[in-house]
């Protein structure tokens, strides 16, 4: 946890008034990793779009748009102050024949702390991957295909297509939807 002490000066004071800080204060902040979970039932989406001219085309356009929105959206609090516009360090997508939505938030019940040789991001991705693999083993989830993108390509996942870029992940997901 860090503290940012700040002062604000009134630039419109002409000197005849009392000089000094117009305002001062402090704001606490820290570095953190965010876990975002979303679930999309593509069969329900197809059913909802069935009256459109080409529902399959709409699905092929909607899913990448949703993935882009999730990846490029950040929590909005204090953005003007701290400009925490971070892109995701990892994206995991699971395509399933049977819609069983599964959040992996419990991977972070025990907080991750940076270590001398591993940073917060690498340890968080490692926990996510391990937890997803363990959940797959424990529950034998009906995952048709799993896609993992990790910025920098440092992390890999068994039984997943390890994508070298975010666009490659989207291509893989679209191919999975098509066939």
Q: How far is CA 90 from CA 43, 77, 80, 98, 178, in A?
A: 26, 22, 25, 24, 24
C-beta pairs of 132-141 under 8 Å, 24+ apart in sequence = 132/92, 132/104, 132/107, 132/157, 133/157, 133/158, 133/159, 135/102, 135/104, 141/94, 141/96, 141/100, 141/102
87, 72 contact by CB (below 8 A): yes
94, 54 contact by CB (below 8 A): no
Mean pLDDT of 113-117: 90
A 10 A CB-CB count for 147 gives 23
Residue 4 has pLDDT above 80, yes or no: no
What is the per-residue pLDDT across 131-166, written as a single tens digit (0 to 9) for each? 999 999 999 988 999 999 999 888 999 999 999 999
What is the per-residue pLDDT across 49-71, written as a single tens digit (0 to 9) for each? 999 999 999 999 999 999 999 99
pTM: 0.81
Residue 98 has pLDDT above 80, yes or no: yes
Q: What angle do CA 85, 161, 174 make, to 5 degrees?
A: 75
> What is residue 34's predicted lDDT score, i.e. its pLDDT?
79
Residue 74 has pLDDT above 80, yes or no: no
């Amino acid at each position: 946890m860090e503290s940012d002490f700040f002062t604000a000066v009134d630039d419109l004071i002409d000197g005849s008034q009392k000089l000094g800080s117009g305002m001062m204060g402090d704001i606490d902040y820290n570095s953190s990793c965010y876990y975002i979970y979303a679930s999309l039932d593509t069969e329900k989406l197809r059913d909802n779009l069935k009256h459109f001219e080409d529902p399959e085309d709409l699905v092929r356009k909607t899913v990448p748009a949703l993935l882009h929105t999730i990846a490029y959206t950040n929590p909005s609090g204090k953005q003007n102050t701290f400009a925490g516009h971070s892109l995701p360090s990892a994206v995991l997508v699971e395509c399933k024949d049977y819609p069983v939505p599964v959040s992996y938030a419990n991977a972070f019940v025990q907080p991750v702390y940076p270590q001398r040789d591993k940073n917060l991001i690498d340890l968080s991705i490692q926990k996510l991957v391990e937890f997803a693999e363990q959940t797959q083993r424990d529950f034998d989830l009906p995952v048709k295909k799993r896609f993992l993108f990790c910025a920098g390509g440092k992390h890999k996942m068994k039984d997943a297509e390890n994508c070298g870029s975010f666009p490659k992940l989207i291509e893989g997901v679209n191919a999975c939807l098509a066939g």
